[in-house]
Amino acid sequence: MSSCATLFVHIDDNELGYLIILLDEIFGRSNRISIVTFKQSSASGPKAINPGLVTTNNYVLYYAKDKKEWSPNRVFVPTSRDARYTKFIDNFNEDFAKWRLIGLREAFLREIKLETWDEAKRKFADKLEEKLAGFVVTNAHCVVRTARVAPKDVNEGAREALSASNVDRSQVFCSIRENKDNYYFLGGEQLVFYKAKTKVIDSVICTASPLTNLWDDLLSNNLHNEGGVAFPNGKKPESLIKLCIELSTESGDLVLDSFAGSGTTGAVAHKMGRRWIMVELGEHCHTHIIPRLKKVIDGEDQGGISKAVGWQGGGGFRYYRLAPSLLETDRWGNWVINQTYNAAMLAEALCKLEGFRYAPSDSVYWQHGCSTEQDFIYVTTASLTHEQLQELSDEVGEGRSLLVLCTAFRGRGDYAHLTVKKIPRQVLSRCEWGHDDYSLKVENLPQKPAEPGQLSLFGMEGKS
């Protein structure tokens, strides 16, 4: 992880305490950002009839690699209308000193051309609050409330305007500020505008509040259908992953999920214009992840966050299969070369380990790779004799050097132009066992041509 990286871990209440202790030890308690409570289900179904409390919540642990380098994004989420804002500036376009305040309901009734609130109730029924909230957001620059403010909490110019509003309580007074919203005062109180409570979220202007550590509005009635793949009890809502990515990354940043599951992280990161890496040991790669990502790229996946981010398709991905461990133990406990490796795979893997570029020569059998124009590597599973090594040294000749990796050899190993090493010993000294990371094979899947404008999501516009 880079010093500015962040980590999110989803965990249930059974293991939460243990995981906090573990991650505090690894990252340092000072780098723990938050413990998020995530409402994963409702109090219904079989669990609702069990004795005791109904478990509906899981948790997301949020850590920074180095909090000093941590640079989070400020994220806002939609919220309900703030009912404290009950006044409306009826003549906003006139000079502020002439502003006239009326009730919010009166302004709304005038907009919908009705006389009384009872008429509005009959017309809109249970949609009335939704209509009123829409009116408030649309006219947020005119919707206000008054709030008490102490003279010490404002600058000198604002204190004068505040004092004047106490003397003439029928007129609005203003204190102009550079590069900031002006102060407005009426009757000894500050006018607070609803506009400050609105944000653009997923291309829609709405009432918003800062994201807290309680995420209780992410339940999806269609979670089982997201991505077009079934993954009972294991699939995360796309909206959950979206919040994590929004908090910690910018467009083009890299997102890693080492337990890919159904591929939700990659799908969401792709739709949000992030680069991504996913790792999965199971068959989910073929049964879930690849089919899901193809739908994302083709623009067929319009579920999850697609509509929120305006996803239409585009981009692509590469599929890598990790090779097995280069060495394995035989029945006597000796390290031997894995039987699944053929000669070419073995040569390529050892070139990678030794820092050579794999470039087998068509004409010189012992040139499997090179580090410079005069330094080569030769990999063989044969047991080499003293005579063979001497002949090889003579063929390499003056001005060139050759690293020979073989399973066994006879002789002192001090040849003029050779460095001779046994493969198992050489590999054992260079590898971390249990990590299948010696050779990568790329399997290119069919790629759909990018849609116009989609390459810009990844900073690739104008490139082929």
Question: What pLDDT was estimated at residue 435?
Answer: 42
Residue 209 has pLDDT above 80, yes or no: yes
Rounded Cα gap, residues 347 and 342, in angstroms: 9
Distance, in Å, from the CA atom of 345 to the CA atom of 367, rounded to the nearest integer, reads 15
Residue 237 has pLDDT above 70, yes or no: yes
Asked if the model's pLDDT at residue 184 lies above 50, the reply is: yes
Element (H, E) at 257: strand 254-257
- pLDDT tens across 330-339, in order? 788 777 777 8
Instruction: Report CA-CA distances (Å) from 252 to 71, 307, 420.
Output: 16, 20, 45
**pLDDT tens digits for range 218-232:** 876 667 778 778 777
Q: Quick one: pLDDT band at residue 53, thresholds 50, 70, 90?
A: confident
SS3 of 328-347: the string is: EECCCCCEEECCCCCHHHHH
Most confident of 167-176, 218-227, 323-332, 338-347: 167-176
Cα–Cα distance between 334 and 357 in angstroms, integer? 29
- pLDDT confidence band for 49 (50 / 70 / 90): confident
**Contact predicate 288/263, CB 8 Å:** yes
Reported confidence tier of residue 307, pLDDT bands at 50, 70, 90: very high
- The lowest-confidence range among 19-23, 245-249, 318-322 is 318-322
Greater model confidence, 373 or 327: 373
Mind listing the pLDDT tens digit for each residue in 60-80? 999 999 999 999 999 999 999
State the pLDDT at residue 367: 96
Of 79-83, 179-183, 420-424, the least confident: 420-424
**Region 116-140 average pLDDT:** 97
SS3 54: coil
Residue-wise pLDDT tens digits, 241-273: 999 999 999 999 999 999 998 999 999 999 999
